[in-house]
Amino acid sequence: MEVKTYFNDFLSNIRLTENQENNLKSGHSTLRKRLLEDEDISSIIVNTFLQGSYRRATAVRPKNGNKSDVDVIVVTNLDTTEYTPQEALDLFIPFLDKYYEGKYKMQGRSIGIELSYVELDLVITSAPSESQKELLTTESVLTSYSIDELENWSLSKSWNVNNQQVADEPAWKTEPLLIPDRDAGKWEKTDPLAQIKWTWNKNAACNRHYVNLVKALKWWKKLNPEPKYPKGYPLEHLIGACCPDGIESVAKGVTFTLENIVSEHPEKPILKDHGVPEHDVFKRINDEEYEEFFDLVTEAASLARQALDSTDKVESIELWRELFGSKFPEPPASVKKSQNGFTPRTEQTSSVSGGRFG
């Protein structure tokens, strides 16, 4: 059974809490404001925007005392022929010492900032092309709203949050940005806007169930931490590659996606990154990790199929709980068998869209 109201409550239980959302907004808004207003660093900054699972609306509630996190892209006017990755990152050290002393660390391709209430990932890019500079000043890029907070969104010049219906205007074509890889000592391509755009289109093609399906399967993976990989964006990319368009519910989406992974990818696939197709999203996952993950998916696909096909409501709910853990609601004690099935569920169900316009 699809038990849609139970899935709605499950998704409410694993999404970011209101406090976590507020902490993320406070953390990234303060950082972006400081960057654009700082008298020393602002001169090399074109603009900032959000990327990652928070922007794509695929983030789930942290477990085991971990904090929520958000990725902030800082587009600079730095020329890659004049600055090495290390030199580019070093330019931000005075700013970081000024506002985040003792709270930041240099990472391979970003700068991590750990606050008491949130983690920020600061990603520096080199100078974009002139056409991309114009794109990076539009509200469609700069908005802090995530996918599930918007009725309509397009990567276009005239889009804004108060006028989401943009007619007869072609979507902007994104170009990869270059980010510094400190460990490799070179600038690498990334295209976060292409990932956001792809996710929006996929969510629309899946009757707006796609981002919720991703949340559900990310939570499932958190409950199964071994093997460690894939997780995060590589897992999300695989889900997107295997989720069929037109799904009618999260329950069906979960089942079909897991079954498609089993049938289509018995061996570790090559997954081309959106916007940077020469990058394999699964490159850092080894065959042994994938084999262990595949066994995990195979078991999950069988369990999901049993839950979806079950005609006994209590049995179906218990099977979904076996897959997704205690955050998936128990059937209420008042639900009892009768000749005609079960008494209808009467308690109120929380909305899962989280949307500003929902």
Q: Which one of the listed residues 9, 40, 69, 168 is annotated catalytic?
A: 69
CA distances from 41 to 31, 35, 90, 303 (A): 12, 7, 11, 53
User: Is residue 9 annotated as part of the catalytic site, yes or no?
Assistant: no
Q: Which one of the listed residues 38, 40, 71, 312 is annotated catalytic?
A: 71
Q: Which one of the listed residues 79, 90, 121, 287 is annotated catalytic?
A: 121
Instruction: Compute the distance between CA of residue 266 and CA of residue 257 in angstroms, rounded to an integer.
Output: 14
Unique residue bearing structure tokens 């069988």? 302
Instruction: Compute the distance between CA of residue 291 and CA of residue 339 in angstroms, rounded to an integer.
Output: 45
Find, among 353, 306, 352, 311, the residue nearest to 329 by Cα.
352
User: Is residue 79 annotated as part of the catalytic site, yes or no?
Assistant: no
CA distances from 301 to 145, 223, 259 (A): 33, 15, 5
Q: Strand, coil or helix: what is 95?
A: helix
Q: What 8-state DSSP symbol labels residue 125?
A: E
User: Is residue 71 annotated as part of the catalytic site, yes or no?
Assistant: yes
Show which residues are catalytic.
Answer: 69, 71, 121
